[in-house]
Amino acid sequence: MVTVERAQTGLRIERNTLKVLKGLAEYLDMSLGDLVEGIVLHAFEGRVPFDATVIDKINKLKAVYGLHLTAADAHSLEEPT
């Protein structure tokens, strides 16, 4: 185990993306923070964080929650004014 100091943050995220993340965290029996932290640490190393089984679950959650965004959308999202 590695001991870390965590900070509380007011992260803003697209609504349906958050629903999928929460559903996935519940499916994996972990906290939302632990899930996001794991995804980020994998991304920092250029590694894929999920196997095919989890990707399948993510796709099902995306369908349930109407998440149609892709990585191509990542830097072009804007909020209504």
> Any idea which residue has 């679950």 for tokens?
57
What is the rounded distance in angstroms from the CA atom of residue 32 to the CA atom of residue 81? Answer: 29
pLDDT at 24 over 90: yes
Kindly report, residue by residue over 32-72, the tens digit of the pLDDT.
Answer: 999 999 999 999 999 999 999 999 999 999 999 999 999 99
Asked if residues 64 and 34 have their Cβ atoms less than 8 Å apart, the reply is: no
Q: Residue 81: what pLDDT?
A: 86
What is the rounded distance in angstroms from the CA atom of residue 35 to the CA atom of residue 39? Answer: 6
Rounded to two decimals, what is the model's pTM? 0.92
